[in-house]
Amino acid sequence: MKQLAILGASGHGKVVAEAALASGWDGVDFYDDAWPDKRRLGKWVVSGNTMALLKTLSRFEGVIVAIGRNPIRIDKIALLQEAGARMATIVHPAATISASALLGAGTVVMAGAVVNADTVTGRGTILNTSCSVDHDCVLGDGVHISPGAHLAGDVRVGKLSWVGIGAAVCQGVTIGCAALIGAGAVVVDNIANDLTVVGVPAKRILNGFEPSKSV
């Protein structure tokens, strides 16, 4: 029996579990650091916390971290890999992945997502529902491309960055590390590290106000 451990018992965890079961895993076991206060996630039992999972890794053919916060997800993946966990990559059967795309360990690809030729993702990437990542994109560790967001070709996204729901990133743009692209934003220029940008075209936020010029 092909059993998967999922660290992170949340709404995102539910979607990951259903994608895993649809893609051929026989069963899933949940773990979460809110245990023992949190003992169930819908129809699933939460079996323990991170330490409990580390003690039972040999039971599982694969492990996936289903935590939405990018830095925490990457830290947990690093911890599990150091302990010898077999990090799974989950691709929903309703996603379309180019044969030349390379998905990093711990990546999850949800239903309706499209990943085109020669795209490369780092560890722990989330390619969420109905997003698209076009040819020759490179995504760093811990990137999250939200539902309905679209990256044109040759886009670079630095580690731990988040592209919000419905956002669009134009051809050849580079987004730095730990950047946040707001929902519905249209990114037409490069974005530096650690910036939050919103709007059409995307502009950076400074102290809660938007400057007049594009980033």
Q: List the catalytic residues.
A: 135
Coil/strand/helix, residue 160: coil
Residue 63: which of 38, 29, 35 has the closest Cα?
29
What is the rounded end-to-end Cα distance, in angstroms, of the chain?
51
Spatial separation of the C-alpha atoms in residues 122 and 97, rounded to whole Å = 15
Residue 6: which of 62, 54, 55, 83 has the closest Cα?
62
Residue 192: which of 163, 146, 158, 144 has the closest Cα?
158
Q: Do 67 and 76 contact (CB within 8 A), yes or no?
A: yes
